[in-house]
């Protein structure tokens, strides 16, 4: 059977209602391309509120920082006067208290801003996670659900197969296992095209499958052999594989 080098069922990271699917079956997509989007109205609403609160908190932080600077300047001015007897200990203590209170207020303002920044960042990440993106360039081979459906990380939306190299998976009888070697050339014939395609054995199972009495292997089809035929050889196409012994490509 001819298979894609990579294939994956793509599901969202979140649970929600599917707002839109941006691809159709058979469509090519680029790596990181947006495949589908969940309904994000509530997330965007929360993000808008969070950003507004953050804006206010940052203004309060600036105010607290200014008040702390003023309190420090006042304390620094009064401290030398105490030693010369120009102010009382009570006046200096009052300035010290004002400075300490301003420092605590500024620290609280900083913590509040940090908390709101983390909340906004989390909402932005949630908004990003509401999009399903292609992990690699490929072709949409299946579409499982339509907009409006409830989906989750356990409910895939589409299946994506890689658009680059194709491989063929095949099996040989146990008695022929000794004739199979890595790097060996094979010839592949598929029903959808009339031209035989060459390939190279790249993986061989380490043991015989007990149930079938066969050993499984896969071979990478030569790029020049399938470049113009990819659209005629969808993943899952049945194939007949012939080992071209004793020809060996020299690959390991």
72 pLDDT exceeds 90?
yes
Q: What is the pLDDT of residue 231?
A: 61
Q: What is the pLDDT of residue 252?
A: 42
Residue with the bigger pLDDT between 129 and 194: it is 129
Residue 134 lies in a domain: no
CA distance 158 to 8: 9
pLDDT in tens, 98-108: 999 999 999 99
**251 confidence band (pLDDT: 50, 70, 90):** very low
Question: Both 63 and 124 in a single domain?
Answer: yes
Number of domains within the chain: 3
Question: Both 28 and 54 in a single domain?
Answer: no
| 158: containing domain | 7-39+139-162
| Domain boundary residue, one of 84, 107, 129 | 129
Q: What is the pLDDT of residue 207?
A: 86
Residue 214 lies in a domain: yes
pLDDT in tens, 170-226: 888 888 777 788 888 888 888 777 778 888 898 898 888 888 889 999 888 876 655
**249 confidence band (pLDDT: 50, 70, 90):** very low
CA distance 221 to 210: 28
Q: What's this model's pTM, rounded to 2 decimal places?
A: 0.67
Bridge partners, 164 (sequence order) = none
Q: What is the CATH number of the domain that holds 21?
A: 2.40.50
Question: Both 22 and 85 in a single domain?
Answer: no
CA distance 105 to 98: 11
């Amino acid at each position: 059977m001819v298979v894609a080098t990579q294939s994956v069922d793509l599901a969202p990271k979140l649970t929600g209602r599917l707002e839109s699917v941006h691809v159709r079956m058979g469509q090519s997509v680029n790596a990181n391309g947006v495949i589908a989007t969940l309904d994000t109205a509530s997330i965007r609403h929360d993000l808008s509120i969070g950003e507004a609160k953050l804006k206010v908190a940052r203004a309060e932080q600036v105010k607290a920082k200014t008040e702390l600077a003023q309190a420090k300047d006042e304390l620094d001015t009064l401290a030398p006067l105490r030693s010369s007897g120009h102010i009382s200990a009570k006046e200096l203590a009052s300035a010290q208290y004002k400075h300490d209170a301003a420092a605590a207020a500024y620290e609280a303002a900083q913590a509040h801003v940090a908390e709101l920044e983390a909340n906004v960042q989390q909402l932005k990440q949630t908004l990003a996670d509401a999009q399903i993106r292609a992990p690699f360039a490929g072709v949409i081979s299946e579409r499982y659900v339509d907009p409006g459906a409830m989906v989750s990380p356990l409910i895939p939306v589409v299946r994506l197969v890689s658009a680059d190299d194709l491989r063929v998976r095949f099996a040989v009888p146990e008695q022929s296992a000794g004739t199979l070697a890595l790097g060996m050339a094979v010839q592949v014939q598929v029903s959808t095209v009339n031209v035989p395609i060459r390939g190279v054995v790249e993986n061989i199972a380490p043991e015989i499958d007990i149930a079938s009495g066969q050993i499984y292997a896969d071979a990478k089809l030569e790029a020049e052999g399938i470049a113009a035929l990819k659209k005629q050889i969808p993943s899952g196409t049945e194939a007949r594989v012939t080992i071209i012994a004793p020809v060996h490509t020299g690959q390991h």
